[in-house]
Amino acid sequence: TQLLEQSPQFLSIQEGENLTVYCNSSSVFSSLQWYRQEPGEGPVLLVTVVTGGEVKKLKRLTFQFGDARKDSSLHITAAQPGDTGLYLCAETSGSRLTFGEGTQLTVNP
Amino acid sequence: DTEVTQTPKHLVMGMTNKKSLKCEQHMGHRAMYWYKQKAKKPPELMFVYSYEKLSINESVPSRFSPECPNSSLLNLHLHALQPEDSALYLCASSHAGLEETQYFGPGTRLLVL
């Protein structure tokens, strides 16, 4: 099982600011998923990236997969309080889904 | 219907109690999962069922007993739990097969006294 490192661990910003969170691995990802989890809820899948260098956009969220498929980033533009939550990257290996430690994002109004 | 439902939402139990957590999905998924999540930590896989058969047990103590009565239902039977078992228990489902997207339920918040 490879180790997924996420940074920063905690992030508190004001509404309207931009931010980037990172997910890094010691080895190559087969595919990488980003989830957001709100308090008292289960994780919700945001995106899956598969191809090295891939960029996917989801409204104000931009996801990048590194060329070497060992790292990924999530950039949020003009953050809103509704973006508050735990952002988790995860890798699938067969039936197993292995999560990183997560970035806890708080967007203050 | 893309929803995974879990009941109860909250559960408080003593160390001598027996209780069950329930999970249901109607997406035609044939793989179902139990995860345990402690506060401020990521979910950790406990069990995987594929086509109603247990395929992965991540060395979970026997006080947790999973059951898959049919392709839509997944139970987790709890007996003689310890206070350190207090956590959010998440159920997920996916199409059977490798690296399929997992859809999570809202979880059951368990407190063991």
Backbone angles phi, psi at A81, to 5 degrees: -55, -30
Contact A41 B106 (CB under 8 A): yes
User: Does A102 contact B at CB distance below 8 Å?
Assistant: yes
Query: Searching chain B, which residue's CA lies closest to the CA of residue A86?
Result: B40
Find residue A107's DSSP bridge partners: A13
The residue among B3 and B66 whose pLDDT is bigger is: B66
Contact A99 B50 (CB under 8 A): no
> Is residue A96 within 8 Å of residue B58, measured between CB atoms?
no
Q: What is the pLDDT of residue B94?
A: 92
pLDDT band at A2 (very low <50, low <70, confident <90, very high): low
pLDDT band at A40 (very low <50, low <70, confident <90, very high): confident
CA distance B32 to B73: 9
CA distance B72 to B30: 8
What would the pLDDT profile of A70-108 be if each residue is shown by its tens digit?
999 999 999 999 999 999 999 887 778 889 999 999 999
User: Does B92 contact A at CB distance below 8 Å?
Assistant: yes
What would the pLDDT profile of A19-36 be if each residue is shown by its tens digit?
999 999 988 888 899 999
DSSP conformation class of B84: G
Contact B104 A92 (CB under 8 A): no
**Residue B41 in this model has a pLDDT that exceeds 80:** yes
**Residue B57 in this model has a pLDDT that exceeds 80:** yes
Q: Tell me the residue length of chain B.
A: 113
Backbone angles phi, psi at B97, to 5 degrees: 130, 165
Mean pLDDT over residues B58-80, rounded? 96
Q: What percent of chain B has pLDDT over 90?
A: 87
**Residue B35 in this model has a pLDDT that exceeds 90:** yes
Q: A–B: how many Cβ contacts below 8 A? A: 56
CA distance B78 to A91: 29
Label residue A26 left, alpha or beta by phi (over 0 means left) and psi (-120 to 50 means alpha).
alpha
User: Does A99 contact B at CB distance below 8 Å?
Assistant: yes
CA distance B103 to A45: 7
**Residue B97 in this model has a pLDDT that exceeds 90:** no
Q: What is the pLDDT of residue A27?
A: 85
Q: How far is the CA of B36 from the CAs of A81, A107, B109, in angstroms? A: 27, 27, 10
Q: Which amino acid is at A15?
A: E
CA distance B18 to A103: 35
Q: What is the pLDDT of residue A28?
A: 86
Q: What is the pLDDT of residue A93?
A: 79
Contact B43 A99 (CB under 8 A): yes
**Residue A1 in this model has a pLDDT that exceeds 60:** no
Find residue A55's DSSP bridge partners: A64
Label residue B82 left, alpha or beta by phi (over 0 means left) and psi (-120 to 50 means alpha).
beta
Sheet containing strand B4-7, strands side by side: B4-7, B18-25, B73-79, B64-70
Q: What is the pLDDT of residue A85?
A: 95
